[in-house]
């Protein structure tokens, strides 16, 4: 056989092998789903798929995918447990952990921290207020500190009922009396509450709460009442600097005698403070709970540990237990 024929046979064989290889590659690509491969396979890499280097690269890719899956799952788990959260070191001015920091949330009774701040901004804590007909404005399912029409209490004591027992009755008594004092006008109960909410929103803006709006002093659900975890951090930082508030939120239980002679014992609703509770945290020093249908279970917590003060916020937890267990988990992870 001539050399020319041999060369022609070899060239034909090479062409047939090349065509077969290309068709094989195309067949493989067409039968793989997009999720099975993310790179274009060339004939060169296809022939060397079993090389040691590529096996190693494949293991690395699998490891990266597993890591991404773990991170995604963790985010999904957190989303399932709560809607938004943050953990912040006051002393270093550092947000150590955040989740949906700027998403709108219903603030529930966390609103009462702002109510206390506004009241103390305009009124001396020893000012006496009389409980009146404003109690008729309360939602029937309100949490109460059990004050009644005709009782007289100092603002300082009302703030204890407001922040420890989360009394909506205290919130409305504070709002109406402060509004009338500031406006110097004998407003109706409803008009006084509206005036106080105006003061709340002006005050919130003045301290940097730019994504919030408030329509009630107790935080009851309303489509026009909203905040963010970022704004609540701003509010909490401010409130920590007010002695009446910081002392109140750290108190586990308080026996109070009203100016009108009645007495009551208020227990702090924050389970982190109570040593006989499963959620007790020895480093906890406050702050406030909140729960409504729209808001879910919310918690702002203050901690002191190793000379640092931390603010933890969880909003929209599915259950009351979860807001505490997740708060303690985050605290352990970042302190």
Residue 104 to residue 229: CA distance in whole angstroms: 8
For residue 10, name the pLDDT band (cuts at 50, 70, 90). Answer: low
Indicate the SS3 state at residue 196: helix
Whole-number pLDDT of residue 6: 52
Mean local confidence (pLDDT), 141-159:
97
For residue 80, name the pLDDT band (cuts at 50, 70, 90). Answer: low
Q: What is the pLDDT of residues 86-128, one digit of tens each?
A: 999 999 999 999 999 999 999 999 999 999 999 999 999 999 9
What is the value of pTM for the model shown? Answer: 0.78
Whole-number pLDDT of residue 81: 86
Looking at the chain, the whole-number percentage of residues with pLDDT higher than 70 is: 76
Residue 77 has pLDDT above 70, yes or no: no
Non-local (6+) Cβ contacts of 103 within 8 A are 83, 84, 228, 229
CATH classification of 84-334 is 3.40.50.450, yes or no?
Answer: no
Average pLDDT over the chain, rounded to an integer? 84
Residue 56 has pLDDT above 90, yes or no: no
Kindly state the helix (H) or strand (E) to which residue 44 belongs, with its residue range: helix 43-47
Residue 11 has pLDDT above 80, yes or no: no
Whole-number pLDDT of residue 1: 53
Mean local confidence (pLDDT), 20-47:
35
β pairing state of 284-292 and 296-305: antiparallel
Q: What is the pLDDT of residues 204-220, one digit of tens each?
A: 999 999 999 999 999 99
Can you give the residue ranges of every domain in the chain?
3-75, 84-334
CA distances from 239 to 136, 274, 317 (A): 29, 22, 23
Mean local confidence (pLDDT), 14-34:
42
Q: What is the pLDDT of residues 257-284, one digit of tens each?
A: 999 999 999 999 999 999 999 999 999 9
The strand pairing partners of 128, in sequence order, are: 154
Residue 202 has pLDDT above 50, yes or no: yes
Mean local confidence (pLDDT), 124-141:
97
Residue 59 has pLDDT above 90, yes or no: no
Whole-number pLDDT of residue 331: 98
Mean local confidence (pLDDT), 49-78:
39
Non-local (6+) Cβ contacts of 167 within 8 A are 143, 144, 145, 146, 147, 161
């Amino acid at each position: 056989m001539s050399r020319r024929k041999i060369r022609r046979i070899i060239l034909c064989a090479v062409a047939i092998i090349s065509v077969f290889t290309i068709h094989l590659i195309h067949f493989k690509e067409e039968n793989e789903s997009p999720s099975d491969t993310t790179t274009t396979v060339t004939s060169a890499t296809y022939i060397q798929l079993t090389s040691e280097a590529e096996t190693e690269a494949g293991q690395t890719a699998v490891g990266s995918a597993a890591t991404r899956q773990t991170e995604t799952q963790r985010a999904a788990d957190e989303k399932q447990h709560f809607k938004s959260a943050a953990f912040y070191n006051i002393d270093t001015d550092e947000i150590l952990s955040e989740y949906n920091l700027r998403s709108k949330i219903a603030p529930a009774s966390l609103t009462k921290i702002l109510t206390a701040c506004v009241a103390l901004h305009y009124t001396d804590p020893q000012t006496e207020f009389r409980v009146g007909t404003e109690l008729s404005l309360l939602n029937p399912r309100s949490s109460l500190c059990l004050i009644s029409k005709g009782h007289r209490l100092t603002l300082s004591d009302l703030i204890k009922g407001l922040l420890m027992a989360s009394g909506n009755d205290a919130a409305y008594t504070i709002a109406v009396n402060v509004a009338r004092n500031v406006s110097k006008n004998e407003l109706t109960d409803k008009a006084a509450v509206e005036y106080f909410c105006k003061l709340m929103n002006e005050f919130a803006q003045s301290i940097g709460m730019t994504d919030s709006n408030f329509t009630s002093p107790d935080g009851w659900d309303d489509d026009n009442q909203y905040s963010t975890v970022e704004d609540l951090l701003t509010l909490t930082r401010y409130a920590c600097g007010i002695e009446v508030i910081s002392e109140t939120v750290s108190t586990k239980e308080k026996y109070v005698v009203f100016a009108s002679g009645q007495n009551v014992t208020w227990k702090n609703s924050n389970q982190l403070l109570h040593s006989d509770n499963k959620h007790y945290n020895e480093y906890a020093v406050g702050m406030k709970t909140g729960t409504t249908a729209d808001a879910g279970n919310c918690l702002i917590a203050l901690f002191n540990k190793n000379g640092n003060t931390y603010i933890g916020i969880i909003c929209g937890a599915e259950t009351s237990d979860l807001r505490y267990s997740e708060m303690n988990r985050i605290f352990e992870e970042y302190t």
